[in-house]
Amino acid sequence: MALAEAGARGRLLRWPRVLLFGDSITEYSFQENGWGAYLAERLVRKCDVVNRGISGYNTRWAKLILPRLITENTGADSIAAVTIFFGANDSALKELNPKQHVPLEEYAANLKSMVQYLKSVDITADKIILITPPPLQESAWEKACLAKGDKLNRCNATTGQYAQACVQVAKECGTDVLDLWSLMQKNQDFSSYLSDGLHLSAKGNSFVAAQLWSRLEHKLSALPSLLPYWRDVDHTNPEASLL
């Protein structure tokens, strides 16, 4: 059978998508042992895990981009889950990092705006997971800043305020939330979760992967494996199994 004919006979195969939307902590999540790579491995044959992490971005910029990533005309119906993971840059101190800083009230409003947009294109609240920024280990991040000729431009207490705002937005909008800022600090020495005081270490990636999977598994467990197991394909008539 010609390929064109096979394509005409078979239905278009569309993998559901899990969209990871965030800053550098999301962008780096497809690196070796990253939390995004872990999700992609767990969901292979079930979902495409799409990394839309953009290093350095904040919610002010993210809310402008989101409608360019998902519209009703570009497969919003195939979205199985969306993570929104911002705050590490928004919470930068205004006087030392005005370019990335977003005021707390605007941060909350931007998160709410993004959730409302997703709902407007028929992505229901149960498919949305907000993720708070992780805690900041100030001494390690200060070393990273000094190496670039900068002063310490973030503090953990301020990051915590943004994390609390994220949790509150999730409550108001009826979405799930992963409060990394609180969960990681249950371990008294949370610095092992961070590679440079801000970004995740291997242990931190494993922690995020486990926490996020515990929230995604029940949402996605009913999704079937796409295409039959190879032993179940009728080798004498593969068209009957595959088209």
Catalytic pick among 24, 182, 192, 206: 24
Residue ranges in the chain whose pLDDT is less than 70:
1-10, 187
Catalytic: 24?
yes
200 pairs with which residues across the strands?
194
Of the options 2.60.40.420, 1.20.1560.10, 3.40.50.300, 3.40.50.1110, the CATH number for the domain spanning 17-241: 3.40.50.1110
Q: How high is the pLDDT of residue 218?
A: 86
Cβ-count burial of 99 within 10 angstroms (0-12 exposed, 13-18 middle, 19+ buried)?
A: exposed
Q: What is the pLDDT of residues 39-68, one digit of tens each?
A: 999 999 999 999 999 999 999 999 999 999
Q: How high is the pLDDT of residue 1?
A: 56
Catalytic pick among 90, 176, 195, 199: 199
Catalytic pick among 48, 196, 201, 206: 196
Q: How high is the pLDDT of residue 118?
A: 96
Catalytic: 176?
no
pTM of the shown model? 0.92
Catalytic: 196?
yes
Per-domain boundaries in the chain? 17-241
